[in-house]
Structure 1
Amino acid sequence: MARPSVRVPFTPLEIALDLAAASSFFLIATAFFRLWPAVPEQVPVHFDVRGVADAFGPRSTLLALPVLWGVFYVLLTFLRFVPHWHNYPVAVTASNAPRLYRLSILLVAWVKVLVLWLMATLFWQVCRAAVTASGQLGAPHPGWFVAGVGVVLAGYILALRRK
């Protein structure tokens, strides 16, 4: 059975989250223009759980992060407009579709903020680690972003359970 196609208007929170996600691009641009000229030919490309570099590669590998940032931005922005494609743990009906779609759109918006800021922060940190030859990621540790996704998912599940 086809799910109802319901137009879900933008909310101020959603607009704020989208602006927060898009603003992460400025961190990437700043890192690129300020740090990239000083990045050596060999850069850290993998870090252990403590944030210490344990593998190195060519500096061009760092360019994958801004490219992936763009791909994720476009994909997650597109997903906002097709909530009837999203996966739901309950049956979607004409009566509950607006609520479920709104919750799902907000979930995507929060995940978008977290994922794009994670990518921007990693690009900045890896460039900085390469330039300073420290071989270590600084704060915030990527684990905080993973914890953030966990909190967002828990909030989504709790909101779904409320009537």
Structure 2
Amino acid sequence: MKTNRPKINVPWEPLDIIVDLISITLFILMLVYTIMYYGDLSGSIPTHFNVLGEADSFNDKIYIWLLPIIGTVTFLLLFFLNTKPHIHNHMVNITKENALKNYSFSTRVLRFTNLFIAIIFAIIHYVMVEKGRGNATNIGGWFMPIVVGISIGLPLFILVYNKKINKQ
């Protein structure tokens, strides 16, 4: 993909480092947690939850590795994409004058997307492992409304904030 957009290095701010470290930590904890308790899992673990957070589909315990693996691969792909902000889809024409602020915002959005994915996967994974170990754990009815609310609210915030930073 060829563009005439300027290629600049976006400096990391402390918040960027903190968000990435939290995401990495969550995925490492998921892997460690799986290794620690894999032997304790029953042969069948929950692999799907209904709107109320109750397990409604079960599969072989080998499926417990899916979320940590998919999450780690997703994190790595988005982390790599974050090093190339000039190829991101921007809502404005990128010039030398506005590149830094738009690239900074775009990379920050990807970092928080990674964090959002890590948190969701970690919660679901924890419940899957605990249910697989025979513990009475439930995601609960609060989980889905929060995920949907953030999934709708975050893009709206991005649209409004992007207009604000490009008003000048």
Fold conserved (TM > 0.5)? yes
Change (3 A) 1:21 1:66: same
Map 1:150-161 to 2 at 5 A.
150-161=152-163
SS of the equivalent of 1:132 reads: coil
In the alignment, the residues of structure 2 paired with residue 72 and residue 122 of structure 1 have an alpha-carbon distance, to the nearest angstrom, of 16
**Contact kept? 1:4, 1:84, Cα under 8 Å:** yes
**Contact kept? 1:17, 1:110, Cα under 8 Å:** yes
Matching residue's letter, 1:68: I
The residue number in structure 1 matching 2:15 is 13
Give a deviation string over 1:119-138, Cα, whole Å, max 9, x none.
12211111112212547435
The residue number in structure 2 matching 1:49 is 51
- Provide structure 1 residue ranges, at least 5 long, that are not aligned to the other structure: none
Query: How far apart are 1:36 and its partner, in Å?
Result: 2.0
- The total of aligned residue pairs comes to 163
SS of the equivalent of 1:125 reads: helix
* Segment of structure 1 superposing worse, 133-142 or 21-30: 133-142
CA RMSD, 1 decimal = 2.1
* Segment of structure 1 superposing worse, 120-129 or 103-112: 120-129
- Provide structure 2 residue ranges, at least 5 long, that are not aligned to the other structure: none
In the alignment, the residues of structure 1 paired with residue 130 and residue 142 of structure 2 have an alpha-carbon distance, to the nearest angstrom, of 13
**Contact kept? 1:3, 1:93, Cα under 8 Å:** yes
Map 1:1-163 to 2 at 5 A.
1-132=3-134, 134=136, 136-137=138-139, 141-162=143-164, 163=167
Change (3 A) 1:37 1:138: farther
* Segment of structure 1 superposing worse, 102-111 or 126-135: 126-135
**Contact kept? 2:42, 2:134, Cα under 8 Å:** no
**Contact kept? 1:107, 1:153, Cα under 8 Å:** no
Q: What TM-score do you get using the length of structure 1 for normalisation?
A: 0.88
Query: How far apart are 1:31 and its partner, in Å?
Result: 2.4
Q: What TM-score do you get using the length of structure 2 for normalisation?
A: 0.86
Matching residue's letter, 2:159: I
**Contact kept? 2:46, 2:58, Cα under 8 Å:** yes
Query: How far apart are 1:42 and its partner, in Å?
Result: 1.0
SS of the equivalent of 2:133 reads: helix
Share of identical aligned residues, percent?
A: 25
Matching residue's letter, 1:28: M
In the alignment, the residues of structure 2 paired with residue 140 and residue 29 of structure 1 have an alpha-carbon distance, to the nearest angstrom, of 25
**Contact kept? 1:52, 1:136, Cα under 8 Å:** yes
Query: How far apart are 1:30 and its partner, in Å?
Result: 4.4
